Chain A
Amino acid sequence: MRLEPGRLLAAPALLLVLGPTAAGLAGTLLPAFGWLPALGRETFSLEPWRELAATPGLPRALLLALVSGVGSTLLALALAVAIAAALHGRPGERRLRRLLPVLLAVPHAAAAVGFAFLVAPSGFLARLVAPFLGLERPPDLATVQDPWAVALTLALALREAPFLLFVILAAADRPGLDHRLAAARTLGRSHVAAWLEVALPALWPALRLPVLAVLAYGLSAVDMALVLGPTAPPPLAVLVLRWMSDPDLDRRFVGSAAALLVLALTLGLVLLGRLAERLLARPFRVPPLVARAVDLVGRTGAVIVPASALAGLALLTAWSFAASWRFPALLPTGPDLSAWRAALPLLGPVALATTGLALASLTLALPATIAALEAPGRGRASALLWLPLLLPQVGFVFGLQVLFVRLGLAEHALGLVLAHLVMVLPYLWLVLRGPWQRFDPRLRAAARCLGCGPVATLRRAVLPVLLRPILAASAIGFSVSVAQYLLTLAVGGGRFPTLATETMALVAGGDRRRIGVAALLLAFLPLVATALALLPADRRGRPVSAGAPRLVQVLGKGAKRLSMSSSVKLSPAAPPPSTPS
């Protein structure tokens, strides 16, 4: 392989992410094969795998992981695509865009509790109908924690659909798409059919990795499964958590094997997904009936997705002020402010520390991500940046802890920043990769022709045009950092109280009041961040990435300066390069 200096641009990001990831992986891999000297095991064996295979209920646990992981991903994707198809370019889109940050800011665990209170047999919907059915006691129906994980699948899909919709709408802000849609409609295609046939294939490359991230999350995350999933047996990821937190430390061996099984399952499904993608990737024609069905699903989904999340959030808010709220009462008694009185002090130094930590990891992660994206050939190695999102966190924190202790970074602020970066950077890369790939190379060429070096090109040509995706990615990275509980505690050792560490332990206490407060506190900072990130775009009222004229303006200023030292002149009338005329 020829070594180009440019390739090294990806090195910092790869080092920062893959170093800890490799350590985390080793910390799972070695015990999975029976090796953990701290527990007196210094030989390799297949015993953990035999124990895993002999676990009663393992087939069902695997099946539940598949049902909830794959089912929720497909459902979320279908919902997001249908909503985008039905609403794109219509008045409803703007309203939904405004709501998306709110939906994305609610922590998963809180979303699960809100959803549970909505649909449980003693929940709000049951209370609405109770008077008409003469119910004095909640019906004995498994509307949550059902044996087939239907509730979990639905809740995961409703929580992830806004994320995918966010990605779709962000990717749809590109020059030329609207013209092509208009052309398709001129050719007699309906609004929805045109979107599915023209926009979806064009947006798919930007959507692919986020979909796989949703899949990996659905397979490996436990916070929603603990609230909404079945318990006997639970989905596989919850089994991993059970073993890893078993008082009997020898259970860590089978837990590690199970964590690897989750990883293998995820990787297998990712490959299967790529295969399916290749088989399905061909031009298609949407029959009118299907288009009408998609339109209906999209319009309904555009109501149900935000409504269910907002209802959950509203119910949690009501709970946070409730003295008591028993079936079949429609309204709580109260108000009882004790939960808030206990939590409000957190909004001082703790909220500040949380913000500082998130900003610090962003400050490191953003330049590293941009450098990796600038690496020539879009470095295949960079695809590895995505790895941390595939790993089940409970299985992977142990090795990370060992690494940070070895490096003397445990309980240090820098260590904590670096640990957060491992989770933040992959999301930045995921969100920014699409915009970077779509960036018109001719703009770069123009800047270089004007005498800009690589750094000046980046600063004057690339960054201004991609400002909006960068801000959006930063807001997501910020939210990811704020939500880290296990990682913060594992590396910080309690030295750095954050909103997550101070409130998530209370979630374990199961008090809906405290959970409501925790949800609102944890949603607060991401909401502020997202609002700030969206502000510049909103003020101008149109997306920056479609702003080639602005690029000309930016370059124009530079060009004026440049033209004093050279004879290059820029024509301000240059047409936006990628817009078909």
Chain B
Amino acid sequence: MRLGRRDFIGIAAAAAAVGAARASESFAAIVEKARGQRVFFNHWGGSPQINDYVAWAGGELRARFGVELVSVKVGDIAETVARILAEKTAGRTTEGSVDLVWINGENFKAMKDNGLLWGPITPLLPNFALVDTVGKPTTLVDFTVPTDGLEAPWGMAQFVLFHDTARLPDPPRSIAALGRWAAANPGRFTYPAPPDFIGTTFLKHVLYATIDDPRRLERPGEPASFETVTAATWAWLDAVRPHLWRQGRTYPANKEALHQLLDDGEVDLSMAFNPAEASSLILAGRLPASVRTFLFETGTIGNTHFLAIPFNARAKEGALVAIDFLLSPEAQARKQDERIWGDPTVLDLARLAPADRARFEKLERGPATLPPEALGPVLPEPHPSWTELLEAGWARRYGRG
């Protein structure tokens, strides 16, 4: 890996942060400066539960720190990334319009690579010390890209599948079994069309199950050898295609559309990136109560989503205070509560004070949520270059119409 200027800044800042006393001292100054600031938080606004959670956090921040958190709901965070890019293009390097963004993976990589982020920020956050960076390595490495402290972990995600026990009591628990089941039940399975995020993640699981040496996926994929390495992957996809919903001639646009198909009874399986999503959809009446979550036996891909501050943010102190509050045991426990949102915490419960740990221990799981010990092995995200190769290969084969 080539070390950039930012990496050095990151290392230097991390070293500086070792002096914890100094950090808390400077954070007190940050809190002081943040008072009265308005923080424009741009986030995906497609979920009322999440919007309500953000509204709650806004109320707490106002009451405790005098920081006003303004929720800017977007249909796709790419709209915000484009906005920050437009500001950079117009030469607006200070006084930007976005103070806080919710991102991960490719969006983070794009913002990091193009110098659109401010930081490192994690050394400035007292609550970052509670994050389980050892047990949850994806809190430091976002889709194989080092965060360098430019984003603070906010929540955990793991790929899960849903089945409706009323129609399908015993779902296929491996890619091989899924292929056999699809052939025996034509039209009852599909996945979102890549490059949709969930659709591409499903392809990555097929890749994991069919590639000779999965360790290869940690390294960049090579276009030259890609076709030979992935021959079995495409063989599986070719074989399953005629048995897909609509004979694989079209695909749902995203996971929301797939959930709707499951609810409408058009398919028997759906998929998501949040182990509690099925429960919250059941609570919202968007899936039948008989829906349950399951995993592939060999494990599923897990990752983390993050909060970051754009390079030209106006209310950087306010944004830092907001992030630190969102990392607090209280806010994290509330976020993990499935009646509120159901987003797993990034914190290490062992590091929490007993009272704070109790907040998590008393949380109840929804009907379709697997207990943490049943979530099985977590597969790391393949190197981002595989994403591009997979999406291009898929489009060449199945995206021509």
Enumerate chain A interface residues (CB-CB to B < 8 A). 27, 36-40, 55-57, 60-61, 64, 120-122, 137-138, 140, 142, 145-147, 226, 230-233, 242, 244-249, 252, 322-324, 326-327, 336, 342, 397-398, 401-403, 405-406, 410-411, 485-486, 489-490, 493-495, 501-502, 504-514
Contacts and interface: CB of A to CB of B under 8 A. Distances in A.
Contacts of A514: 48
Interface string B23-41: 0000000000000000010
Nearest to B143: A247
B249 interface: yes
B97 A411 contact: yes
Interface of B (DSSP majority class): mixed
Given A40-B114, A405-B86, A512-B260, A504 B252 contact: no
B2 interface: no
A508 B259 CA distance: 13
A411 B83 CA distance: 12
7 contacts: A122-B261, A142-B250, A145-B252, A249-B110, A402-B89, A493-B97, A495-B70
A44 B288 CA distance: 54
B396 interface: yes
Give me the 10 closest cross-chain CB pairs, A-B, nearest first.
A510-B256, A494-B72, A505-B45, A247-B106, A509-B46, A122-B264, A245-B78, A60-B401, A401-B86, A405-B90
Contacts of B91: 406
Interface in B127-141: none
B192 to A, nearest CB: 8
B383 interface: no
A326 B73 contact: no
Contacts of A403: 90
Contacts of B286: 511
Centre residue among A39, A40, A342 by max chain B CB count within 10 A: A39
Interface in B35-91: 40, 42, 44-48, 51, 70-76, 78-79, 81-83, 85-91
Contacts of B113: 249
Contact of A406 (B51, B90, B284, B392): B90
B92 interface: yes
A36 B89 contact: yes
A478 B214 CA distance: 57
Contacts, number: 198
B395 A56 contact: yes
B234 interface: no
A221 B198 CA distance: 24
B242 interface: no
Given A326-B263, A506-B51, A509-B48, 19 more contacts: A27-B86, A56-B392, A56-B395, A56-B399, A57-B400, A231-B251, A244-B82, A247-B78, A327-B265, A405-B87, A405-B92, A406-B91, A411-B97, A505-B73, A509-B256, A510-B254, A510-B256, A510-B259, A512-B260
Nearest to A403: B90
Nearest to A502: B73
Contacts of A245: 76, 78-79, 82
Contacts of B396: 56
A489 B74 contact: yes
Given A233-B400, A326-B264, A493 B72 contact: yes
A57 B398 CA distance: 9
Given A56-B400, A247-B105, A326-B288, A226 B97 contact: no
Contacts of B265: 122, 137-138, 326-327
Given A38-B85, A140-B245, A510-B256, A494 B42 contact: yes
B398 A511 contact: no
Nearest to A397: B82
B218 interface: no
A55 B90 CA distance: 30
Interface string B183-218: 000110000010100000000000000000000000
Nearest to B70: A494
B183 to A, nearest CB: 15
Interface string B261-297: 1011110000000000000000011101000000000
Interface in B87-143: 87-92, 97-98, 105-107, 109-110, 113-114
Given A493-B98, A509-B256, A38 B89 contact: yes
Interface of B: 40, 42, 44-48, 51, 70-76, 78-79, 81-83, 85-92, 97-98, 105-107, 109-110, 113-114, 186-187, 193, 195, 245-246, 249-254, 256-257, 259-261, 263-266, 284-286, 288, 388, 392, 395-396, 398-401
A55 B394 CA distance: 12
A324 B264 contact: no
Given A505-B73, A511-B286, A232 B266 contact: no
A318 to B, nearest CB: 14
Contact of B249 (A142, A226, A493): A142
A401 to B, nearest CB: 4
A509 B73 CA distance: 12
- Most central of B74, B114, B256, B288 by chain A CB within 10 Å: B74
B57 to A, nearest CB: 16
A247 B285 contact: no
A537 B363 CA distance: 62
A232 B399 contact: yes
Given A248-B110, A249-B85, A508 B90 contact: no
Nearest to B41: A494
Contacts of A57: 395, 399-401
Contacts of A513: 285
A402 B266 contact: no
A109 to B, nearest CB: 10
A137 B114 CA distance: 49
Given A326-B263, A505-B46, A402 B72 contact: no
B46 A506 contact: yes
Contacts of B398: 232
A379 B81 CA distance: 40
Contacts of B256: 508-511
B391 to A, nearest CB: 10
Contacts of B47: 509
Given A57-B401, A490-B79, A512-B260, A505 B74 contact: yes
Nearest to A142: B246
A493 B395 contact: no
B395 A508 contact: no
Contacts of A39: 85, 114
A495 B86 CA distance: 17
A402 B401 contact: no
A490 B114 CA distance: 20
A489 B249 contact: no
Contacts of B70: 494-495
A232 B75 contact: no
A36 to B, nearest CB: 7
B88 A231 contact: no
Contacts of A507: 46, 75
A501 B73 contact: yes
B234 to A, nearest CB: 14
Contact of B79 (A27, A323, A486, A510): A486
B46 A510 contact: yes
Contacts of B90: 401-403, 405-406
A233 B264 contact: no
B67 to A, nearest CB: 16
Contacts of A249: 81, 85, 110, 113-114
Given A145-B250, A231-B251, A232-B251, A490 B107 contact: no
A281 B86 CA distance: 47
B266 A121 contact: yes
- Which of B86, B98, B245 is most buried by chain A, counting CB atoms within 10 A of its CB? B86
A288 to B, nearest CB: 43
A501 B401 CA distance: 34
Contacts of A506: 45-46, 48, 51, 73
